[in-house]
Structure 1
């Protein structure tokens, strides 16, 4: 599955990074960096939790 970020909505709060650190990172400039464009093996539930927890709804998954 592919991770999609809506850069216009993302505010770099870092909730996704705290819930799924293998997939997301907020850099020193406060910008979200995807560590990978696809869900890392064994982390789907963490990534789904991060997407659900995004307060700006900037994240989604595509098959």
Structure 2
């Protein structure tokens, strides 16, 4: 299975903790912003759910071929 990449735009992140609640194994709060636990992860719907739930759309999830999985535009 191909890995996904997770990026968090820390300048846009408000640190609401939505992502840590939805996908605690993939995100953590680092001070007042979120950061991915690992930048490359096995595919997990919780990661997409977290990106889609981010109020600032600060989380970007890409497939192995570079296409954007979340957030959906």
Q: Same fold (TM over 0.5)?
A: yes
Gap regions ≥5 residues in structure 1: none
| Bigger strand fraction | 2
**What is the TM-score normalised by the length of structure 2?**
0.73
Gap regions ≥5 residues in structure 2: 64-73
**What is the TM-score normalised by the length of structure 1?**
0.83
| Bigger helix fraction | 1
What is the root-mean-square deviation of aligned Cα atoms in Å? 1.4
Query: Which of the pair has more CA radius of gyration?
Result: 2
The alignment of Structure 1 onto Structure 2 pairs a total of residues equal to: 60
Which structure carries more relative contact order (alpha carbon 8 Å, separation 6+)?
Answer: 1
